[in-house]
Structure 1
Amino acid sequence: MHRSRSLTSALVPVAAAVLAVGVLTAPAGAAPPPPARVTVADPAQYVNAYVGTRQGEPDFGNGGGAGNTFPGASAPLGMVQWSPDTATYQHGGYYYDDQRISGFSLTHISGAGCGDYGTTPFMPVLDGRPTDHTDFRHADETIAPGSYAVAFGNGLRTELAATQRTGIARFTYPAGHTASLTVDAGKAFNDATGSISIGADTLSGWTESGGFCGTGNRYRVYFHAQFDRPFSSAGIVRTGGADAGTVDTARRTATGGSEGVAPQAARTAQDHGTGTGEDQHPAPTRAASGAQALVSFDTGTDRTVTARVGVSFVSADGARANLAAEQGTTAFDPLRDGARATWNDLLGRIAVDGGTTTQRRILYTALYHALLHPSVISDTDGRYPGFDGAIRTARPGHAQYADYSGWDVYRSQVQLLALLDPARAADVAQSVVDQGASAGYLDRWTLANGGTGVMVGDPLPIIAASIHAFGGTDFDAAGLLRIATAGSRDPRQRPGHGPYDTIGYIPSDASGIWGSAATTLEYTSADFALAQLAGRIGDTAAHDTLMHRSANWRNLLNSGSGYLQPRGTDHAWPDFRPAQQDHFVEGSAAQYAWMVPYNHRGLFDAMGGDTAAVARLDGFFAELNGGPDSEHAYLGNEPSANTPWAYAYAGRPDRTQDTVRRALTELFADAPDGEPGNDDLGQMSSWVVWAALGMYPQAPGRSELVLASPLFPGVTVRRGNGAVIEVTAPGASEQARYVHALAVDGAATGRPWLSEEFVRRGGTLAFTLSDAPDPAWGRAPEDAPPSFDVGPARPATGPVVGPDAKCMASGGSQAVNGAAAQLATCDGTAAQQWTTASDGSIRALGRCLDVDGSSVFNGAAVQLWDCNGTGAQQWWPRADGSLLNPPSGRCLDLPGSDTADGSRLQLWDCNGTGAQRWTVPV
């Protein structure tokens, strides 16, 4: 189900007729005209950080139905996210419907489906009395990129701003009260311990926490706070007994701990589950931890107290050094304004012309949320904690990043970062390499440079490979390939890799696996992305091996149902329903049916061709957000994210244009409940940005962009490396979504996609749009976006020559299902003319070389059968001349080396003998 939403409060009228484009045309051979270079003054004004703080769609048990964002102060990819935490908990720390603030903690993660961070809350209080919470009204909040402010009902006012590793606060106290503040080093959203020390005008210490999604990750965050005046009194808040809540002014240090408030549903391969709506908003009492300081100030002449706070994951000295380096003596207002300017520089790299204010707010809010993470973890001197616990140092002039929501952000968030800031994205990729080097493997979901094992697949190699494809190449790509390849044989990185490496899929009866079919498909995407990286750096052997592994999706393809299905160790198909979640992850079989984003051509052919695929997509998108046990789309979670763009591969980009715009306008809004699911460290928001631009990075590890249509009449994308993409679409609006013509660099085209070369160098796009679909534009098969398969790019036809210089033939020259593949004297007839096809099959007489009954056992007969895209029809040439059938791990064999005409071919253990040597056409 979904609630209809509108992107506009007042729609721009659109004529039904096709809208003309009178710009960006050029004579043949002439250079395109210079781009208009649209700019937007102060894009930060359009950011609504409330979006995602209230449930927007039903809670389907995957982290709640809210975006789980926070409204506080953060720099782009910042270490400090100083934000208010409401008394009622929601992942992210802020629940819009609860107007009670319990503290302002220094660290947060935006949009996750589990809770972590929320360390070291600061809370201004009156008259030396700690409090569980203080009431406020949303009307008294001011939120903007880089800053946050609130006036409490008791007359207190808090203002926050942030640099990358530091924060600054102004606490303004009402007259007639003692100005006080609590800082609790023993609190976080999860179980925590901490230590705090009180100086004359400083507070310093550390908070240690962890337990993300119920796992065992741990981290320690150091802090150092410097105040603008000495304390008039200070001490440690007592806990327990009759004097609980009073202050022991004789104590200047304390260590203590507290239980967490975040519900944690396990989401690892070994121990997984789902959350429930019942525990999404717990409201526990938050007693002092034992490491809570209370300090008071003399505000007789100045009722505003300023606090400067540095944070470090290395040491208290690091926190102090970060504070000195990033703030010095700069006052609050310049720091706040500088934070906004930093955001404007990054947000302004996408500038739009036209559109409504609401549309701009949705776009720039999404872009803001998409650029909060990953988070810097290195200090200003480059030091950071490695995965092995050792203190390491980033490359001079570069930063180290942490907090990778890998399973989510590999799909389009890191690509957006790399599009806008390839240099910073390269540091993110190098951080992936460094994580693998220090840990010995690549984790799936990393927090504060520690592994959690949360979710499934092998996403970090995809992240680095995709960044490289988008131009973020300043990292050790060869090292990444080496680490990722070694890690693919490590169960910490790839649970279930044993059967995947041998039979080409993870069986449904394998132990310790969450979602055997889903995990198999995730691994194939990782293999594909790594293959692309290997090809880019010239490692052709690794490229070819990984490309073959990327075809393992065919081993789950049931030609009878047309679905990618779970499969047992015995290669049998268990009972199956398209709506089942069994053996899938946070989604159904129907939603994972499309998860071959790099080879839609092969997938659609296996489904019966473009017409059949389009019909299935139409039924799939009859509902946009049906939840994880639906046969329809679930666009409130990641597995369905790429599917709206799949129509373009089947010759119906008009359906992509419609589905993307429907999802954008019906599921997302400029409101606290404006997201249909968890933002997942910017992944959901990145989808919104791409959808508004009308382009999407469909294939992992590559930078082609599949096109829908832009929401705005004009868009300028500045890539941060000098390249500019300029888009014009006169009359574009919520309804005018259909492409009738497109010119790329002044030349008309029917291709609904942009090449990697265009993305690299930039250029111009000129759309002609209408509110009526044009099924003809982009329909030609040759105009479809590229798919990538394992066979030769150019199919070759000729004899397959085997032992005794005889040829493989169809028995009796029959062009029927079940005709035996046999050896015969070469005669040049059609029955001996085989085509090595791009999908890895070998074809003759209109059919494919096939293993009878998809058997995987020695002696299985080989025959001709209707081409169906399954693994039973995959034949991969090897260096020794054999032809490998990957699902079985066996080779095409001549029984007993009998070269008599009519000898029927079979599967057999690969043994390197002459009975398994074949020469195929090239």
Structure 2
Amino acid sequence: MTKRPDDLPFMARVDPFIGHAEADLPAPEGIAATWWCAKPPIGNTHPGATRPFGMVSACAYSGAYVTGYGRYAVSLSGDSPPVLFERHEAVGIAHFQQSGTGRIRMYYNYLLTTPLGADGLAGRLERQGLVEERAWPGFYAGKFAESGIGFEVVAAERGVRHRYEFPEGLAPSVAVDVSAGGLLIDEMGNYPQWSKLWIEDDGSVAGEVVMEGIPLHFHCICEGSEAWLWEDEDILTERAYELSLEKQKYRPAFGFGFRGGVGNRIELTFGFSLQAGERATAAIPAGWDSCVGDAAKAWEEVLAKVEVEGGTAEQHEVFSTALYHACLKPADFTDENPFTGKPGPFFFDLSTLWDLYKTQLPLMMSLWPERAAAFVEFLCEVAEREGGFPVSYLMDNVPDRFTKQATGLCHAILEDARVRGIEADWDRVLSLLWKTSQSGKGRKSRFAEYVKKGEVDPLSHTLDISYAHFCMARMARSLGHQLIHDRATSMIEHWRNAFDPKSGLLREDSTYYEGENWNYSFRLLHDMQERIELAGGDRNFVSLLDKFFGFSEAGHGERVHRFEGLNNEPDMEAPYAYLYAGRHDRTARVVRRVMDCQFTTGPGGLPGNEDSGGLSSWYVWNACGLFPVCGQPVMLIGSPLFRKATLHLSEGDFTVIAEGNSRENVFIQEAHLNGRPIKRSWLKMDEFLKGGTLLLKMGDEPSEFGTLERPPSFSP
């Protein structure tokens, strides 16, 4: 049995099982008891083995919703998720999983690998109880109850290693289903468009399978074993197999397998590539121990980027696991671009970019500017090749990556990268942003409708596009592109059209995705001063927020949709809207209630979909006492969970110290930045990026902190 490295303290605090089961959270207190669930209260995570921002993952596969791991059926409402299996079950180990998403178009889970019991190939799809699970970052293990076969998997950069231990009397044998993909429920399965595999002279198996338009090359070795190919329940005598749906309509299950091993053990090692078979061969990882050690060290280096002190052991576990979840996606496929075959930065699994852009991507860009630069280059490559910037980008080749739940997100993401000092050819970036907004996909998109009508439906997209023009205008001004600046500036003002001046909220005559007009009404716009004036001034704006968060009740006949409490992310930045009206105390109370009541240890430790790190990144920022505003050169100050938090940035450490911090002492009494007192509830971006110390003195009663010096509103 592989032992977890005991000399890596940051990694030891992570529990990869947090969030895979229905929420089992602390009893909500105060305002938290009024919040509602728009989506199923489950994180939809999986505990499988993967590297930081890893291309490959490997996890037990039951075929359940949503990642292929677990026991739940399809669930899209705020009710408890329906149970598909009464116990944890699995049929094998699959590869390439999503991370905590809700429903997306198609699911991965490729090359399903199953150790065979007494029934051999005929029992390949029989679910077995999944017991004795263990996991730490990069490693996952367990046992199939009925057969008694134990398994361990460890992730590599471009591959994965499997190890199976068979009980006495059962000959080691394993089958790999190349035709498998997706889920086993509600017609969510996937099937190859084309595949070819063959047994090499050295007894290994190589091949290619095209899933959802994406080629996946693989090479699998299994030393001391005999390889064989199969179709349905028949073992083939041939040494090669080819399938094309253009030539046949029947869809057989097919794949390869190995029989025999070293004693009662059989080990498989996969290498993968989206470009070529020889690259898959080169990606096959080295020995077991070195693979385990390399994965653990890679995670330790990542997790050490943010250090916290104080708090309880449980809070440290939640925090470290949140940082772990925040660093799973986007999946780094550098030099594996399947569309061009050219080297260079490339990423997949941007399945929830509308959540990632608010918290996860600013975290990645702050802590790993080199990776951020690669991400900027990737987005530009997509825009040049496909004529537009995506709002999601999955491991498929379908057109809906440009037309989902939001519009113009990359405009904010790229401006955020610029203000965080990420290196890029910003003239090229601006040119692509402007060009794709005005022509190509932009000509037929909501951008064109916005320019023509001054608004689009859903109205949340009106805010998206207005903000996209603000980001382009700011970028153009910094680069000296006067024409783009002037034209973009003229398009910003239409955000006002989305609001009802009588209610101070977004209009009700619209559709809102996974929420209502209240949930989208408190986004952090570029001009929050005018936004507050539109709502009737500070007092009226705070009154709306108080109703939204549960500090006060709705008026007679008034319908209020409450804060989603991080069960979902459309209103994840809304607690910080209070800062712009001088009520830092309200922000402090809300964010601390969220951290106290909506996150905990154990499988039910998350309040809703992890959404590829968007949810957990919110926790990381807020536990440190900070919050980003994507596309603006500010960092907002919240209410830290820990006595001390240090972010190791490239230009120097930024440390937040909260003197006297406790569960009751959530309010900032005094603040000092690098020894100088400040009364503002925000930091300039340079103050954050260059490193320094923010000293906060905490108390149990609100103070005047942040009442006068509020976060700035920005002109283009």
Distance across 1 between alignment mates of 2:525 and 2:661:
28
Q: Report the alpha carbon displacement of residue 694 of structure 1 after superposing the two structures with TM.
A: 1.4
- The size of the alignment, in residue pairs, is 659
1:490 Cα deviation (Å)?
4.5
Distance in 1 (CA, whole Å) between partners of 2:474 and 2:66 is 39
Alpha carbons 1:63, 1:112 under 8 Å: kept: no
Shift of 1:468: 2.4
Corresponding residue for residue 438 of structure 1? 385
Residue-by-residue CA offset, 1:269-299 (whole Å, 9 max, x unaligned): xxxxxxxxxxxxxxxxxx9943222321144
Paired with 1:707 and 1:442, the residues of 2 have a C-alpha distance of: 31
Q: 3-state SS of the aligned residue for 2:645?
A: strand
* Residue 657, structure 1, aligned to residue 652, structure 2: no
Residue in 1 that maps onto 2:70: 94
- Summarize the alignment of residues 388-537 of structure 1 with structure 2, pairs less than 5 Å apart: 389-394=339-344, 399-404=345-350, 405-448=352-395, 450=397, 451-453=399-401, 454-473=404-423, 475-490=424-439, 492-493=441-442, 495-506=445-456, 515-537=457-479
Q: Is the CA contact (8 Å cut-off) linking 2:668 and 2:703 kept in structure 1?
A: no
Consecutive unaligned residues of structure 2, counting only runs of 5 or more, are: 1-6, 26-34, 73-85, 183-188
Q: Which among 212, 234, 259 is matched to residue 296 of structure 1?
A: 259
Residue 311 of structure 2 aligns to a residue whose secondary structure is coil
Aligned to 2:608: 677
Q: 1:198 is matched with which residue? A: 199
Contact 1:418-1:471 at 8 Å conserved across structures: no
Greater Cα shift, 676-685 or 88-97: 88-97
Relative to total residues, which structure has the larger helix share, 1 or 2? 2
Paired residues of 1:623 and 1:633 also in contact (CA < 8 A): no
Deviations 1:223-271 (A, max 9, x none): 111122231x62314x3xxxxx2423445424378xxxxxxxxxxxxxx
- Contact kept in structure 2, 1:528 and 1:701, CA below 8 Å: no
* Partner residue, 2:538: 610
- Write out aligned runs for 1:131-150 (5 A): 131-138=124-131, 140-150=132-142
Mapping of residues 709-720 of structure 1, within 5 Å: 709-719=639-649
Deviation at 1:606, TM superposition (A): 1.1
Deviations 1:44-85 (A, max 9, x none): 111121122123299999774322221111111111011221
Q: Do residues 321 (structure 1) and 282 (structure 2) align?
A: yes
Q: 1:500 to 1:712 in 2, by over 3 A?
A: same
Structure 1 558/383 Cα, relative in aligned 2: closer, same or farther at 3 Å? closer
Q: 1:323-338 alignment to 2 at 5 Å?
A: 323=284, 327=285, 330-338=286-294
2:110 is paired with a residue whose SS is coil
Q: Which one-letter code corresponds to 1:170 in the other structure?
A: R
Q: Separation in 1 of the partners of 2:209 and 2:19?
A: 27
| Alpha-carbon contact 1:703-1:759 (below 8 Å) kept | no
- How far off is 1:630 after superposition? 5.9
The answer to whether the 8 A contact 2:548-2:561 is kept is yes
C-alpha distance in 2, partners of 1:434/1:167?
28
- Aligned 1:615-694 pairs, distance under 5 A: 615-622=543-550, 631-634=561-564, 635-694=566-625
* Match for residue 564 of structure 1 among 506, 520, 525: 506
User: What secondary structure, in the 3-state scheme, does the structure 2 residue paired with 1:591 have?
Assistant: helix
1:310 partner letter: G
1:598 pairs with 2:537: no
The residue aligned with 1:152 is 144
What whole-Å deviation, never above 9, does each CA across 1:310-347 have from its counterpart, x for those lacking one? 11111222211222xxx3xx321221121111111111
1:516/1:583 contact within 8 Å kept: yes
Instruction: Describe the superposition over 1:368-388 as per-residue Cα deviations: whole angstroms up to 9, x where unpaired.
Output: 11111111223xxx3522xxx
1:123 alignment partner, SS class: strand
Q: Give the corresponding residue for 1:570.
A: none
SS in 2 for 1:532: helix
1:552 maps to which residue? Answer: 494
Cα distance in 1 between the residues matched to 2:319 and 2:68: 21
Amino acid at match of 2:10: P
Q: Which residue of 2 aligns with 1:855?
A: none
- Given the alignment of the two structures, is residue 179 of structure 1 paired with residue 172 of structure 2, yes or no? yes
Q: Residues 288 and 662 (structure 1 numbering): CA distance in 2 closer, same or farther, change over 3 Å?
A: farther
Q: Aligned to 1:638, what secondary structure does the other structure show?
A: coil
| Superposition map of 1:76-95 within 5 A | 76-91=52-67, 93-95=69-71
Structure 1 stretches lacking a partner, 5+ long:
1-39, 211-217, 240-244, 258-286, 507-514, 567-575, 577-581, 791-922
After superposition, residues 19-98 of structure 1 pair within 5 angstroms as: 42-56=9-23, 64-91=40-67, 93-95=69-71, 98=87
Local SS of the residue matching 2:547: helix
Q: 1:134 to 1:383 in 2, by over 3 A?
A: closer
Question: Match of 1:364, as an amino acid?
Answer: S
Deviation at 1:437, TM superposition (A): 0.9
Distance, in Å, in 1 between the alignment partners of 2:662 and 2:272 is: 45
2: distance between equivalents of 1:221 and 1:773? 58
Q: 1:63 to 1:131 in 2, by over 3 A?
A: farther
Gap change, CA 1:524 and 1:56, over 3 Å in 2: farther
Say whether residues 1:749 and 2:678 are aligned partners: yes
Give deviations 1:571-600, integer Å, cap 9, x for gaps: xxxxx5xxxxx4222221111212343222
- Structure number with larger C-alpha Rg: 1
Matched, 1:384 2:337: yes
What letter corresponds to residue 427 of structure 2 in structure 1? A
Q: Secondary structure at the match of 1:595?
A: coil
**Does 1:584 find its partner at 2:509?**
no
Structure 2 residue 93 is matched with structure 1 residue 104: yes
Q: For the structure 1 residues 543 and 367, does the alpha-carbon distance in structure 2 shift closer, same or farther, using more than 3 Å as the test?
A: farther
CA–CA distance in structure 2, aligned partners of residues 526 and 540 of structure 1: 17
**Which one of the candidate residues 157, 178, 181 is aligned to 1:188?**
181
Change (3 A) 1:125 1:736: farther
Could you tell me which amino acid in structure 2 is paired with residue 417 of structure 1? M
In 2, Cα distance between equivalents of 1:71 and 1:174:
25
Q: Which amino acid counterpart does residue 713 of structure 2 have in structure 1?
A: S
Give, in whole Å, the separation in 2 of the partners of 1:697 and 1:542.
26
* Distance in 1 of aligned mates of 2:208 and 2:358: 35
SS in 2 for 1:445: coil
- Post-superposition CA distance 1:431-459 (Å, at most 9, x none): 00111111111121111374533322121
TM-score (norm 1): 0.68
Question: Is the contact between residue 198 and residue 239 of structure 2 (CA under 8 Å) also seen in structure 1?
Answer: no
334-343 or 89-98, which deviates more = 89-98
Question: Equivalents in 1 of 2:301, 2:312: separation in Å?
Answer: 22
| C-alpha separation in 2, matches of 1:120 and 1:196 | 12
User: 2 CA distance for matches of 1:746 and 1:141?
Assistant: 49
**Which of 223, 228, 232 pairs up with 1:234?**
228
In structure 2, the residue corresponding to 1:542 is in which secondary structure?
helix
Match of residue 266, structure 2, among 305, 318, 325: 305
Separation (CA, whole Å) in 2 of partners of 1:165 and 1:623? 50
Q: How many Å separate the matches in 2 of 1:148 and 1:288?
A: 32
Task: Using structure 2 for the length normalisation, give the TM-score.
Answer: 0.87
C-alpha deviation, 1:787, in angstroms: 1.2
Q: Which fold has the larger relative contact order, with Cα–Cα distance below 8 Å and residues 6 or more apart in sequence?
A: 2
Q: 1:152 to 1:733 in 2, by over 3 A?
A: farther
Q: Deviations over 1:749-807 (max 9, x none)?
A: 1111111111220100111112x232422111xx10111245xxxxxxxxxxxxxxxxx
User: What SS class does the counterpart of residue 545 from structure 1 fall into?
Assistant: helix
CA distance in 1, matches of 2:306, 2:477: 31
| CA distance 1:63–1:631, shift in 2 (3 Å) | closer
Whole-angstrom distance in 1 between the partners of 2:701 and 2:252: 62
Q: Once the 2 structures are TM-superposed, how far is the Cα of residue 463 of structure 1 from its aligned partner?
A: 2.0
What is the CA distance between 1:523 and its match in structure 2? 1.1
Instruction: Give the counterpart of 2:162 among 165, 169, 172.
Output: 169
Amino acid at match of 1:488: S
RMSD between superposed Cα atoms in Å? 2.7
Distance 1:164 1:543 in 2: 42
Residues 92 and 479 (structure 1), Cα distance of their counterparts in 2 relative to 1, 3 Å cut: farther
